[in-house]
């Protein structure tokens, strides 16, 4: 079995790995680089068959629904099989309706936790993992008597931390190569928001809500289902209603899990921004708002009940909020994303809005990626012959923390 990392060996995100055995090939993730602008034209990696004209390419496996792992998959031929989790696929199709990411082809195969399947000479076993993206998997690839374990992105501090501990208790047989993410293995300390795990995030948010004199605005990813649950619980504990946008409510429904807060939940209301109303009218998808029923909330009620609400903070909601400046008196904004984004263009709008309306910003966040101690626990459990870094900006630091490290740069083929 031979492996070539096309992207990710020296950067966080943009993962793309080609695996070959017996003349057949598969691709693990096809991610868009995190530093690529929204309008940047990012070419596909030089992998034969992405255009559908090389039958030796058996398929592309998407580990989870984050753009730095799937973001280029829309550019491949429909002839190329795509495999991913069922809920992940549903989430991406729903997000594409809102112009978030590009619509991929319908998966030809689904990943299911610890259910192995064959793809040509490859035996593939998905392992459901704890991550800030719903329906995320690590992948065990076996072929030619060799074993590669690709972690994808994972952590041990979220709502599904039990999945990590299960992997430690019941790992696959020792692997020849562990292709392991190293987001938190950085050349410098990375800001994490001050919370060690998702439980602490929920507690910190609840404390801020309880002490806030006015409206509480919370910025978080609509696809971070763990964070949605944490914010909802924190709002309920503070005896406030949570207002989410239509996007967040429909992403929650797309998970297929009725226990995830969504339209119809007591204590949760749904606001439909102007741009979404226009999109719905243009496409004739009026059922998306009709199904909200009593869960729907309008701008007048939000303004009138400012100190009773926790409002999901999106750029699309800023015009509505700015139209009612009196409702923002005493407001507090919670940034529940990676703090580094506040120093980037994606966070500049939030800073500007809050500064203009004298709204303080507090950060309550925890990473979606495993820290060094948990990475070491995984290495101990899997007993790999080699550890190969990926999804890391500091691969040279791996040798300080792990044994049997092999650095494999982008574009270089190597044997498992």
What fold characterizes domain 2-188+368-415? Metallo-beta-lactamase; Chain A (3.60.15)
- Whether the per-residue pLDDT at 37 is higher than 90: the answer is no
Mean pLDDT computed over 218-242: 96
| Per-residue pLDDT tens over the stretch 164-195 | 999 999 999 999 999 999 999 987 766 677 78
Bridge partners for 405 per DSSP: 387
In 42-93, beta strands by DSSP E: 57-61, 82-85
Predicted local confidence at residue 180, as pLDDT? 98
- Counts for the chain of helices (H) and strands (E), in that order: 12, 19
Q: pLDDT band at 102, cuts 50/70/90?
A: low
Q: How many residues does the chain have?
A: 416
Section 242-269 average pLDDT:
97
Q: What is the pLDDT of residue 36?
A: 87
Domain boundaries along the sequence of the chain: 2-188+368-415, 198-363
Rounded to whole angstroms, the Cα distance separating 31 from 8 reads 9
Mean pLDDT of 306-322: 94
On average, the pLDDT of the chain sits at: 95
Question: pLDDT tens digit string along 210-223?
Answer: 999 999 999 999 99
Give the residue from 158, 27, 166, 45 showing the smallest Cα distance to 84: 27
- Whether pLDDT at 103 is above 70: no
- 198-363: which CATH topology? Rossmann fold (3.40.50)
155 SS3 class: coil
Strand 16-21, strand 2-7: pairing: antiparallel
**Residues 27 and 7: beta-carbon distance below 8 Å:** no
pLDDT above 90: residue 39: no
pTM for the structure as a whole: 0.95
Percentage of residues of the chain with pLDDT beyond 70: 98
Give the list of residues 6+ apart from residue 125 with CB closer than 8 angstroms, or none: 114, 115, 116, 139, 140, 142, 172
**Taking residues 281-307, what's their average pLDDT?**
96
Count of Cβ atoms closer than 10 Å to residue 8 Cβ: 26
Q: What is the DSSP string of 369-409?
A: S--HHHHHHHHHHH--SEEEEES-S-GGGGGGT-SSB----
pLDDT at 53 over 70: yes
């Amino acid at each position: 079995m031979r492996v070539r990392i096309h992207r990710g060996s020296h950067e966080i995100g943009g993962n793309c790995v080609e695996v070959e055995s017996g003349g057949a090939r598969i691709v693990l993730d096809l991610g868009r680089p995190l530093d690529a602008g929204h309008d940047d034209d990012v070419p596909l990696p030089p992998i034969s068959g992405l255009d559908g004209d090389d039958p030796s390419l058996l398929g592309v496996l998407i580990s989870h629904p984050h753009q730095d792992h799937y973001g280029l998959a829309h550019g491949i031929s429909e002839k190329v099989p795509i495999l991913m989790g069922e809920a992940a696929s549903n989430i991406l199709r729903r997000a594409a309706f809102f112009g978030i990411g590009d619509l991929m082809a319908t998966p030809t195969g689904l990943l299911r936790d610890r259910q192995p399947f064959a793809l040509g000479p490859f035996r593939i076993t998905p392992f459901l993992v704890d991550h800030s993206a719903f329906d995320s998997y690590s992948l065990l690839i076996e072929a030619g008597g060799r074993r590669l374990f690709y972690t994808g992105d994972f952590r041990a501090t979220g709502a599904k931390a039990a999945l990590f501990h299960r992997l430690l208790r019941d790992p696959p047989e020792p692997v020849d190569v562990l292709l392991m993410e190293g987001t938190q293995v950085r050349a410098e300390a990375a800001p994490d928001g001050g919370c060690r795990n998702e439980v602490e995030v929920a507690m910190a948010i609840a404390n801020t809500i309880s002490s806030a004199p006015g409206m509480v605005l919370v910025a978080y990813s609509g696809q971070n289902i763990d964070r949605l649950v944490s914010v909802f619980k924190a709002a309920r504990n503070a005896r406030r209603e949570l207002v989410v946008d239509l996007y967040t409510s429909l992403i929650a429904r797309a998970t297929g899990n009725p226990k995830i807060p969504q339209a119809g939940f007591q204590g949760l209301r749904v606001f439909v921004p102007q741009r979404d109303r226009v999109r719905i009218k243009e496409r004739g998808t009026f059922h998306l708002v009709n199904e909200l029923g009593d869960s729907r909330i309008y701008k007048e009620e939000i303004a009138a009940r400012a100190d009773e609400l926790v409002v999901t903070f999106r750029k699309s909601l800023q015009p509505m909020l700015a139209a009612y400046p009196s409702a923002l008196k005493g407001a507090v904004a919670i940034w529940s994303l990676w703090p580094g984004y506040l120093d980037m263009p994606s966070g500049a709008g939030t800073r500007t809005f809050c500064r203009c309306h004298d709204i303080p910003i507090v950060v309550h966040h925890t990473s979606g990626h495993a820290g060094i101690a948990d990475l070491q626990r995984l290495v101990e459990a899997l007993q790999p012959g080699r550890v190969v870094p990926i999804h890391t900006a500091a691969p040279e630091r791996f040798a300080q923390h792990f044994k049997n490290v092999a650095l494999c740069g982008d574009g270089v083929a190597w044997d498992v």
